[in-house]
Amino acid sequence: MGGTWQNWGRSEAVRPRLVERPASVEEVQRSVEAAGRAGMRVKPIGAGHSFSGIAVAPDVLLELEDLSGVVSIDRDRRRVRLLAGTRLHQVPKLLAPFGLAMQNLGDIDRQSISGAISTGTHGTGARFGGIATQVVGATIVTASGELLTVDETQNAELLPAIAPGLGALGVLVDVTLQCVPAFVMHAVERPEPLADVLANLDERVAVADHFEYYWFPHTDVALTKTNTRLPGDAPRHPLPRVGKWIDEELMANGLYRAVCATGKAVPGIVPSFSRLAVHLTGNREFTDASTGVFTQNRAVRFKEMEYALPAENVRPAFEALRALIDERGWKISFPVEVRFAAADDLWMSTAHGRASGYIAVHRYWREDPTEYFQAVEQIMLSFGGRPHWGKMHTLDASILRERYARFDDFLALRDRLDPERRFQNDYLARVLGD
């Protein structure tokens, strides 16, 4: 029997009937087959970094941490096959001996590679897709316990469906990524007047390789991040170790955690701290390996909702969000994050068929996000939003079907691969219907 499982953000918890830790593909197959004979549902989990209930396993929980590492490398085509439980933060060291890197990453690298792919995790950059767009092959254990290989030579028509597959089609046991030569990035992080950033937002997004900004409510400043890709042999000027520790550990984690905790008890301090924070942080320039620029350590626990919008709707939706916070008088200690991604053709991708911008809102994990998130959600829906599968939202299949052109095709594939809903949980029943 298992204990209580909780996700990182403490927005979901479950006491599974059974916890198994397969260390091989064959052991995953045996677990799925056994669950079928017992009439139980089975769900794999990664690092628990989803905020929605997508990974909740009420019956059999598969912990895939031991299913980790490189299966094979195709040096000529720059492709790497990884076991599903491999954590994103492990990938750079695995790829380094081959001079390769992932094309794009998000700003957190604690997730498993299969979890990031299954939920549609993304980074920023108008010419770059999410992590799932880097998938050129995968192996899935279906509900019958059989292996399904999907790549350019086998079941190629299913590739746009299995990434992101939401964990609804089977258990991903390995994935093949299209990598790129290792590269360096020049990072410029600056506090800028929010009005100026919004006035030139489309241009900033278009000309930069990777652009995003954070906005602390109660301020008129945007903390911008502009990253430029450089060849792998470009000179590096990384952040000094002490300065990086002060910025990212002492300020962004230690002090910020204390302020969030105090702000929950005394909300009135939040606006003053936010105005101070934008003057103390977010002003630096450095050049480093891509993974050292893309990702950062986030130790302050939070809950998150994120919506993908048509890129042209980001500015009006963001301005409506600002007006909402002012109107309600909320004291919001966590910043709003705005990022961008290229259109893709993946069936259940939030960027399917359209260049997209992402607006993410957060609350400190000990605060109730319900009122804030639900009000923001209505704004995002009015601007054509699609919710991130791994983050909190309230939508169900009746609404989501209207927002995904291949929704019914995905359901038909689920009927074929998992007719008895062996991989279903309450979240999937809500968002996909049953």
DSSP secondary structure of 73-128: EETTTTEEEEETT-BGGGHHHHHGGGTEE-S---S---SBHHHHHHHT----BTT-
Helix (H) or strand (E) holding 274: helix 270-280
Q: What is the pLDDT of residues 148-159, one digit of tens each?
A: 999 999 999 999
Q: Which residue has the tokens 């009439």?
A: 39
Averaged pLDDT for residues 58-66: 96
Residue 21 pLDDT exceeds 80: yes
The per-residue pLDDT for 181 is: 98
Q: How confident is the model at residue 173 (pLDDT cuts 50, 70, 90)?
A: very high
pLDDT digit string (tens) for 301-337? 999 999 999 999 999 999 999 999 999 999 999 999 9
- Per-residue pLDDT of 383-404, as tens digits, reads 999 999 999 999 999 999 999 9
Q: 42-67 b/e with 16+ CB inside 10 Å = b?
A: bbbbbbbbbbbbbbbbebbbbbbeeb
- Reported as a pLDDT band with limits 50, 70 and 90, residue 131 is very high
Torsion angles phi and psi, residue 339, rounded to 5? -135, 175
| Stretch 218-232: mean pLDDT | 97
List helix spans (H) across 331-419: 370-382, 397-400, 407-417
210 pLDDT more than 80 = yes
pLDDT value of residue 265: 85
Q: Residue 246 has what pLDDT?
A: 65
184-387: CATH number:
3.40.462.10
Mean pLDDT of 118-146: 97
Task: Give the architecture-level CATH label for domain 70-181.
Answer: 2-Layer Sandwich (3.30)
Per-residue confidence at 250, pLDDT binned at 50, 70, 90? low
pLDDT at residue 410, as a whole number? 98
In the prediction, which pLDDT does 434 show?
79
Mean pLDDT for all residues in the chain: 94
**What gap in Å lies between CA 12 and CA 178, rounded to an integer?**
33
pLDDT at 2: 56
Within the chain, which residue ranges are assigned CATH 3.30.465.10? 70-181
Mean pLDDT, rounded, for 253-279: 82
Least confident of 78-87, 294-303, 337-346, 389-398: 294-303
Query: Torsions phi, psi of 23, nearest 5?
Result: -115, 5
Query: Given this model, what pLDDT does residue 197 score?
Result: 98
In the prediction, which pLDDT does 252 show?
A: 66
Domain with CATH 3.40.462.10 in the chain: 184-387
Buried b (16+ CB within 10 A) or exposed e, 75-100: eeebbbbbbbbbbbbbbbebbeebeb
Question: Beta 135-141 vs 100-101: how paired, if at all?
Answer: unpaired
The helix (H) or strand (E) run that includes residue 38 is: helix 25-38
- pLDDT at position 396 is 98
Q: Which residue has the higher pLDDT, 252 or 18?
A: 18
Q: What pLDDT is stored for residue 274 in this prediction? A: 85
Q: What is the mean predicted confidence (pLDDT) over 198-220?
A: 97
Per-residue pLDDT averaged across 288-304, rounded? 90
| Percent of the chain scoring above 70 in pLDDT | 97
What does the pLDDT average to over 184-203? 97
Q: What is the pLDDT of residues 342-370, one digit of tens each?
A: 999 999 999 999 999 999 999 999 999 99
Residue 416 pLDDT class (50, 70, 90 cuts):
very high
Q: What is the mean pLDDT of residues 144-149?
A: 97
